[in-house]
Structure 1
Amino acid sequence: MSPATCHGPDGVDLSREQAWVLHAALLDHVERTVDAGRSPDRAVAILERTETCEPLDPADRALVRDALTTYLTDAPARDRKPARAILTALDGQVSSSQ
């Protein structure tokens, strides 16, 4: 039996396309953080957790939402729908965990 494939953080069911968009948004956030002269350590840790299918706590999800929202302002057209779907999935995760 092959191992289960994950796309994104634990508890957020993402397609492969959405996982790539999430990666791009978080990487963009890391780059903007560095460009602003701040430490990207937290964002890098969240990026690593999403890629290893670990859960995100509420503060992590807030950073991911911020990264996606910022990414949407300049995202390629092909990434906009998946980015919005990720935001919806994250909102659903918060609702179901309360």
Structure 2
Amino acid sequence: MAWILLTIAGLLEVVWATAMKSSQGFTQFWPSVVTVVTMLASFGLLAVAMKSLPLGTSYMVWVGIGAVGAFIAGIVLHGEALNLMRVLAATLIVAGIGVMRLAG
């Protein structure tokens, strides 16, 4: 169950990071509300998952899901650059998460 909660927390991190970009520095009301609400939910689920998962693993998976998800959202929703180096960087993050998961 902790892994499911951690995955949801990571996905919510993607939502709040994307909403934060859309809030234009918290000058847009609804994206700002979505940012704050999903940020609190993401942190809360991370905290619950950390009750039974190691700190380093939990945090790395949470940040990794958020980083790679935000990378993809930036490309799809905001027209950010897609090039070989950025894809390689995201691939290394995913590989690191996989190794951390296998390690413990």
User: Do both proteins adopt the same fold according to a TM-score greater than 0.5, normalized to the shorter chain?
Assistant: no
Quick check: which one's helix share is greater? 2
TM-score by length of 2: 0.41
TM-score by length of 1: 0.43
